Structure 1
Amino acid sequence: MNCEQCQQTLKCSADTDCWCMTLPNILPISKSSGCVCRPCLIKNIRAHIENIKSKSIKEQLALARPYQNNTNFIEGIDYDMENGLLVMSRWAHLKRGKCCGNGCRHCPYR
């Protein structure tokens, strides 16, 4: 099976516990029935998180709330590495549910 976006070969096990189930299930339902690889799915999730900026903070928090207790941070979704430093993403801040007061670059509460 190939990723429907980049055509990379991938293993999909949707009928059992697929690797994609470890990522936040926040994307709108798609008409496509194909699978995407991990990098493409992370890219799609990041784009969706950027797109919901226009929604109220209450709506954004409602989307993140089910993942609030998930402490398995995912590079590319919850954080990025920049110059050897861990930079928390907008999604990580939404999952926290409130501002930490550190003046974070991606803080959605400002």
Structure 2
Amino acid sequence: MLYQIRINYLMLNITMEQNCALCHATLSCQSEITTSKCWCFELPNIMPINSKQSDNPCLCKNCLAKKINKQITSLYLIKNLAQMIEIAKPYREKKDLVEHIDYSIENGLYVFSAWYHLKRGKCCSNGCRHCPYNKRE
């Protein structure tokens, strides 16, 4: 019994070292461990499942964020504002901002994305460049 508890404790701290499928950077994946969640579970879960993915579909945070941003952009073209707000709503309470999803850095300045504004759920009336509320119905 004590032996099994020790094994379970050790399994909680195991991470799988892998390489990003796009840029080949080393990353730590915890998705195979049933008692823990991988860091990627914190990002918006809006990517379609691709049955043609390789045996190693994991991406580093930078590549996954860029890929999610492309998916958000494509959804933004086919969904109305109310639908996009509903998609973003589960992420409203997440305080940690993710580069390429919530913001980009342009000329050393942080520029909030339409996704960031959608998570707010309403316009802040500051005339933001990527405000989705003043451009859509």
**Could you say which residue in structure 2 is the equivalent of 1:21?**
41
Larger relative strand fraction: 2
SS in 2 for 1:86: strand
TM-score, normalization by structure 1: 0.87
Bigger Cα displacement from structure 2, 20-29 vs 86-95 = 20-29
TM-score, normalization by structure 2: 0.72
| Equivalent runs, 1:22-61 vs 2, <5 Å | 22-31=42-51, 32=53, 34-54=57-77, 55-61=79-85
1:105 matched to 2:129? The reply is yes
Offset at 1:8?
A: 2.6
Offset at 1:47?
A: 0.2
Offset at 1:63?
A: 0.7
- 1:8-65 deviations in Å (ceiling 9; x for gaps): 3322111222121222222122323521111110111110111112211111111101
Instruction: Give the aligned residue type for 1:51.
Output: S
Separation in structure 1 between the aligned mates of residue 64 and residue 112 of structure 2, nearest angstrom? 19
| Equivalent runs, 1:77-92 vs 2, <5 Å | 77-92=101-116
Instruction: Give the aligned residue type for 2:127.
Output: G
Separation in structure 1 between the aligned mates of residue 114 and residue 23 of structure 2, nearest angstrom? 26
**Could you say which residue in structure 2 is the equivalent of 1:10?**
27
Aligned residue pairs total 110
Instruction: Give the aligned residue type for 1:30.
Output: N
Provide runs of 4+ in structure 1 moved above 4 Å. Answer: none
Query: What is the root-mean-square deviation in Å for CA atoms of aligned residues?
Result: 1.6
Give percent identity, aligned residues only.
48
Larger CA Rg, structure 1 vs 2: 2
Higher relative contact order (CA 8 A, sep 6+): 1
